[in-house]
Chain A
């Protein structure tokens, strides 16, 4: 049993703005919530490579191919920073990967939508990485030291992801009528899913209060979403893109942009596994993992052989 005194001491440290480090005492529930949240974040970075990787070979120029390759490689890096940080909580990476590929671990639903045109790559950079930045900037101040540091590292790389997408979208918005139509179509499809990346409304988010009490998160889903909407309205206008929400309206009283009802039925449907791409994504991830098995084994055999040679030589 965790005694009240220890819990109070822990809460006092959090309230004083101290960071919790791997070997520090922490409530079991804090540890479990972090493992769930951090590994979910890591899985999302990894699966996030698939919709964009889909377009690397078909990028419209060598420059865009290089940019997209670098971005996708960064996402792999983000996944690895986060797995590394999650492992400090005393869980092995192979177990995390197993929960994700063969168990019930979740990842962000945004990656279960298809990327049908190259304009989707532009819209993803702008909207999806844009939403990720809002979230991760907050997480960079999270109470768990390794998670906070991983997000600091991630944030340094994300602004390029967003900017390259925004730049391309601006170009298309300024292009031929076909390009304009293509760009607008992808913004129309990605807008609502990107709003849903912040998770359910605060009133439907049972974990939120606890995570905020422990300063794992510093803002609620709705606060983050509002911050994102305010910013994106401005950025959309600057490049002449329309956001597909007739209810968007500036609210003089609050100083924020009001927006329409989010299509939650669709969200929950995708979360439950019925999105267009759910099955394909997990199938592709499993195949990548299983087809890499011989590489992992070969590397182990090589390491064993070299160790043996060294022992003989000395």
Chain B
């Protein structure tokens, strides 16, 4: 048996931008000893066919995410504000047709 701890390269999350002008999207993760290697591994793993023109990597442990348990209360404040949507407002018929 070999020891496990030789494989303790940290985990990095990878985000790729498919085209310039588009937002970066989560692609998956890689293991790497440092940030340069993380970028190279991310390129070899997630962009072998020009799937990305730009790549971000960030150590997984640095990501803070909302939890499913918060799902209700955390996003609640958005639920009672219909006035944030254009459908909330009425406009004269003549103008409506044209837009």
B67 touches A102 (CB 8 A): no
A95 touches B4 (CB 8 A): yes
CA distance in complex: A150, B5 (Å) = 27
B48 touches A300 (CB 8 A): no
Closest to A98 in B: B4
CA distance in complex: A165, B78 (Å) = 53
Closest to B28 in A: A84
Task: Please report whether the interface of chain A is mostly helix, strand, loop or mixed according to DSSP.
Answer: helix
> Within residues 82 to 128 of chain A, which ones have a CB less than 8 A from any CB in chain B?
84-85, 87, 92-95, 97-98, 102
B2 touches A306 (CB 8 A): no
Closest to B1 in A: A102
Task: Chain B residues near A102: list those with CB within 8 A.
Answer: 1-2
Given A77-B48, A81-B28, A303-B33: A24 in contact with B8 (beta carbons within 8 A):
no
List residues of chain A with CB under 8 Å of any chain B CB. 21, 23-25, 73-74, 77, 80-81, 84-85, 87, 92-95, 97-98, 102, 149-150, 153, 157, 289-290, 293, 296-297, 299-300, 302-303, 306-307
A94 touches B4 (CB 8 A): yes
A23 touches B4 (CB 8 A): no
Rounded to whole Å, the gap between the CB of B4 and the closest CB of chain A is 5
Task: Chain A residues near B2: list those with CB within 8 A.
Answer: 102, 289-290, 293
CA distance in complex: A296, B28 (Å) = 21
Rounded to whole Å, the gap between the CB of B50 and the closest CB of chain A is 12
CA distance in complex: A21, B67 (Å) = 11
CA distance in complex: A24, B6 (Å) = 31
Q: What 4 new A-B contacts, CB under 8 Å, besides A77-B48, A94-B8, A296-B33? A: A80-B30, A80-B45, A87-B11, A300-B8
B29 touches A84 (CB 8 A): yes
B4 touches A299 (CB 8 A): no
Closest to B26 in A: A149
